[in-house]
Every structure is written in structure tokens, then in C-alpha cells.
């Protein structure tokens, strides 16, 4: 799973199973989340339950 900023610059990547994870702060007002799997893998997926912003 990949985290991008609004200009599609990759911020970080997560592999495997995790619980209770905050992403790094992403500059500006948008964060993109890409979940990409190949044909051989299927797992739980993701739940985003909070967002935090700074002005």
C-alpha cells in the first residue's frame, strides 16, 4: 500500500498487516492512498478512520 501527496509523490509504503498506524505528515491538503495487489495475494484491505490536519 502506498501513500502519495497531491502531486503523486510517494511518501511511504506499507507491506504486511498492521493495526493503529498514523501516516507521516503530508505537506498541503491532500493525501492519496493506493492499495495495489497482484493476482496471487488477497488480504483484509484497509480502514482509514481518522484524519488530522494542521493549518
Q: By CB under 8 A, name the binding residues for another protein.
A: 1, 4, 6, 14, 17-55
For another protein, the closer of residues 9 and 34 by Cβ is: 34
For another protein, the closer of residues 9 and 25 by Cβ is: 25
Q: State the CB neighbour count (10 A cutoff) for residue 45.
A: 8
Beta carbon of residue 39, minimum distance to another protein (angstroms, whole number): 5
H or E segment and range at residue 12: strand 10-13
Beta carbon of residue 27, minimum distance to another protein (angstroms, whole number): 5
CA 2 – CA 23 distance, rounded (Å): 10
3-state secondary structure of 44: coil
Amino acid at each position: 500500500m502506498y501513500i502519495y501527496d497531491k502531486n503523486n509523490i510517494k511518501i511511504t509504503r506499507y507491506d504486511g498487516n498492521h493495526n493503529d498506524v498514523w501516516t507521516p505528515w503530508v505537506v498541503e491538503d491532500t493525501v492519496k492512498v493506493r492499495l495495489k495487489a497482484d493476482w496471487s495475494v488477497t488480504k483484509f484491505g484497509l480502514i482509514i478512520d481518522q484524519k488530522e490536519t494542521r493549518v
